[in-house]
Structure 1
Amino acid sequence: MKILRHWINGKPYEGSSGRRGPVLNPATGAQEKEVPFASVDEVDAAVAAAKDAYATWGTSSLAKRTT
């Protein structure tokens, strides 16, 4: 089963909580992947990275943000 990763500050993270959830195909109901649930530290890291990125991202043009 393919495992999805978290993406924090431009880098993939496996997830360290030890828990996972199914990712289902809505058309068939079949499980296609699994996603790791984030730990508190991973959520904190993602929020901090988003907060830091917002300063420059928010002033970027729409064309640059969508590439």
Structure 2
Amino acid sequence: MKNLHHWINGKPSEGSSARYGPVHNPATGNQEKQVPFATVDEVDAAVAAAKDAYATWGRSSLAKRST
């Protein structure tokens, strides 16, 4: 089973939780992947990274943001 990752601060993060949630293909209904549930520390890291990015990202050009 393929595992998805969290995306924190511009890079993948595997996650440290031992709990996973299923990811189903909506066309077939089959489970194709699973995603780790985030820990409190992982959520805090994602929120902190988003707050830091917000300060400059909104002033970036659309061309830069879409790449």
Q: Name the TM-score, length of structure 1 as normaliser.
A: 0.94
Structure 2 stretches of 5 or more lacking a match? none
Which residues of 2 match residues 19-58 of structure 1 at below 5 A? 19-58=19-58
Q: Which deviates more, 42-51 or 2-11? A: 2-11
Distance 1:10 1:33 in 2: 22
Distance 1:62 1:51 in 2: 19
Q: Could you tell me which residue of structure 1 aligns to residue 11 of structure 2? A: 11
Q: Which amino acid aligns with 1:4?
A: L
Residue by residue over 1:42-64, the C-alpha shift from the partner in whole angstroms, topping out at 9 and shown as x without a partner, is 00000000000111101011111
Two-structure CA RMSD over aligned residues (Å): 0.8
The secondary structure found in structure 2 opposite 1:29 is coil
Quick one: distance in 1 between partners of 2:42 and 2:18?
Answer: 12
Partner residue, 2:64: 64
For residues 8-54 of structure 1, give each alpha carbon's deviation from its aligned partner in whole angstroms, at most 9, with x where no partner exists. Answer: 11222111121100000000000000000100000000000000011
Flag as ranges the 4+ runs of structure 1 deviating above 3 A.
none
Aligned residues: 67
Could you tell me which amino acid in structure 2 is paired with residue 64 of structure 1?
K
User: Match for residue 2 of structure 2?
Assistant: 2
